[in-house]
Amino acid sequence: MPIGQQESGAEGAAKGVTSTLGNAAGGLSKTVGGVVGATGRGLGDTINSTTGTKQAGDSLQGVTGGIEDGANSAGKGAENAGQMKK
């Protein structure tokens, strides 16, 4: 949109609500993904150090890392949608 030009009426209000909701959903998704990823890394390290085997801990880290990546991707998509980006 050119500088100094603003949207008015229902379209402007709808885009404002969409932006807010998209950014909130994106931020929440990224936060949950980060928590899952960090928890998996911590638990995986604990399992590896206490059991002496790396397979179980590394597998847990791989799964939670995949969840974290997916949540980050979904969060970015929600934020982009809220900002009307493709």
Distance of CA 75 to the CA centre of its chain: 4
The predicted structure's pLDDT at residue 1 = 47
**The tokens 């809220």 sit on which residue?**
82
Calpha distance 34→70 (Å, rounded):
10
Provide the residue-wise pLDDT of the chain in tens; the chain has 86 residues.
455 555 566 666 667 777 888 889 999 999 999 999 999 999 999 999 999 889 999 999 999 999 999 999 999 999 888 777 76
Cα R_g (the chain), whole angstroms: 19
The domain locations on the chain are 10-46+62-84
Could you tell me if 41 and 61 are in contact, meaning their C-beta atoms sit under 8 angstroms apart? yes
Q: Provide the residue type at 79 as one letter.
A: E
Q: Where are the alpha helices (DSSP H) in the chain?
A: 9-51, 55-82
